[in-house]
Amino acid sequence: MDPDAVAKAFVEHYYSTFDANRAGLANLYQDGSMLTFEGQKIMGSQNIVAKLTSLPFQQCQHAITTVDCQPSGPAGGMLVFVSGNLQLAGEQHALKFSQVSLCLFSAYLYFH
pLDDT tens-digit readout, 45-82:
999 999 999 999 989 999 999 999 999 877 778 999 99
pTM (predicted TM-score): 0.89
**Three-state DSSP state, 62:** strand
Q: What are phi and psi of 66, to 5 degrees?
A: -135, 145
pLDDT average, residue stretch 76-102: 95
Topology of the domain covering 3-111: Nuclear Transport Factor 2; Chain: A, (3.10.450)
Residue 85 CA to residue 69 CA, distance in Å, equals 19
pLDDT average, residue stretch 91-110: 84
Instruction: Map out the domains of the chain as residue ranges.
Output: 3-111
Regarding predicted confidence, which is higher, 3 or 110?
3
DSSP secondary structure code for residue 74 in this structure: T
Q: Which of 17, 29, 2 is nearest to 101 (CA)?
A: 29
* Chain CA centroid to CA 52, Å: 10
85: pLDDT strictly greater than 70 = yes
